[in-house]
Structure 1
């Protein structure tokens, strides 16, 4: 789905340029779930903006959905194939109701009205908003608005959805709601890039990529990251309760593959 080799990005600031991304080698296969993390200012947003054509790399190569991202027409085409769900639920709606919001994308594709109405119903059912079809968007909760944003991505038949810290402004129930929705889409075949700084969300990701200072510092499994790497301590991360207990078990000789990452795994051990 995504292949980046020696990807570099510089931005102009007055008379000078500043390096934002440096020599990124990274790939995401179709149907894969990858979590991307790193401190604020590390380059996460710049990188994902390259992936959906909003940023143009300064050097290196990047292909997305088989398209070379150097030509402008390919960057425009990729915007439909790779969709973003942003942090702020309130900044992603254009219609006054969920029906109108999803209809906007379908109308732009020129879909016949009868097909469009049927498709809107299917999408709202899929994201759990069928009972809110004609509700005012302003009355939706933050989690429901994020569900609507996901629905708009589905309306464009996105091959890949990037969740850019999409749970950061939600309460715990809303965060779990959106995470489970994304996991369902992934299990159905959608490629997911899950951008987060939450340890509990990293722990349930099969693969984690860590950015720091515009460079790729780690790319691998969560167990290796939390139990066989010095990177979390070096970056000042606060380990989750499950990992804190796991560290104690590790010092007692437990093998890494048995150490807990999530609260559920910790409960099973206890």
Structure 2
């Protein structure tokens, strides 16, 4: 789905260029769930915006959904395959109602009215907003607006959805619903790139990529990351309670493969 080879990127600040990405190489296969993390300013958002054609690397090669993103035509076309859900729920809604918001992208595709209506109602039902299809969009909660953003991605039949810290401005209930929705889409075959700074969300991801100062420091499984890489300590992370208990077990000689990552795994261990 994504193949990046040695890509670099920088911003211009007056006469200077400030490096943002430095030699990033990563491959994401169709149907994968990958969690991407790193401190603010490490380059996460710059990287994922390249993946759906919002910007281009200064050097290196980048292919998304089989398209070479050095081409302006391909950067436009890739948005049919890869969609972004942004951090701020209010920054991505266009219509005055959920129905109109989903309709906007479909109208740009030129869908017939009957087909468009059926598609809108289907995706609103899928994200749990069918009963609010005609509500004023400003009356929706932050979590509902994020689910509406996901509905817009689904209506466009995105093969990959990038959640760029999409739960960071939500309460625990809202975060839980967005995570559950993303996992259901993943089980149905959608490729998910989950950008987060929450260690507990990393621990529940099958694959984790860690960025620091524009470089990729780690790309692998979460158990190795938390228990044997030494990177969380180096970066000053506060480990989740489950990991703290797991490290106590590790100090008592428990093998890596049995150390818990989730509450369910901890329950099984105990």
Please indicate, yes or no, whether the TM-score normalized by the shorter chain is above 0.5.
yes
The answer to whether the aligner puts 1:151 opposite 2:151 as a matched pair is yes
The answer to whether the aligner puts 1:108 opposite 2:125 as a matched pair is no
How many equivalent pairs are there?
270
Name the structure 2 match of 1:51.
51
Q: Please give the secondary structure, in 1, of the residue aligned with 2:166.
A: coil
Measure, in 2, the Cα distance between the counterparts of 1:25 and 1:198.
23
How far 1:147 moved relative to its partner?
A: 0.5
TM-score, normalised to structure 2's length?
0.98
Name the structure 2 match of 1:249.
249
Compute the RMSD of aligned alpha carbons: 0.8
How far 1:267 moved relative to its partner?
A: 2.5
The answer to whether the aligner puts 1:218 opposite 2:218 as a matched pair is yes
What do residues 151-195 of structure 1 show as CA deviations (whole Å, max 9, x unaligned)?
A: 001111111100000000011111010000000001101110000
Q: Please give the secondary structure, in 1, of the residue aligned with 2:157.
A: coil
Q: Please give the secondary structure, in 2, of the residue aligned with 1:239.
A: coil
Q: Aligned runs of 1:156-235 on 2, under 5 Å?
A: 156-235=156-235
TM-score, normalised to structure 1's length?
0.98
How far 1:135 moved relative to its partner?
A: 1.3
Name the structure 2 match of 1:18.
18
Bigger drift between 224-233 and 91-100 goes to 91-100
> After the TM superposition, which parts of structure 1 deviate over 4 Å for at least 4 consecutive aligned residues?
none
Q: Please give the secondary structure, in 2, of the residue aligned with 1:181.
A: helix
Unaligned runs of 5+ in 2: none
Name the structure 1 match of 2:119.
119
What do residues 32-85 of structure 1 show as CA deviations (whole Å, max 9, x unaligned)?
A: 000000000000011011111111101111100001111111111112211100
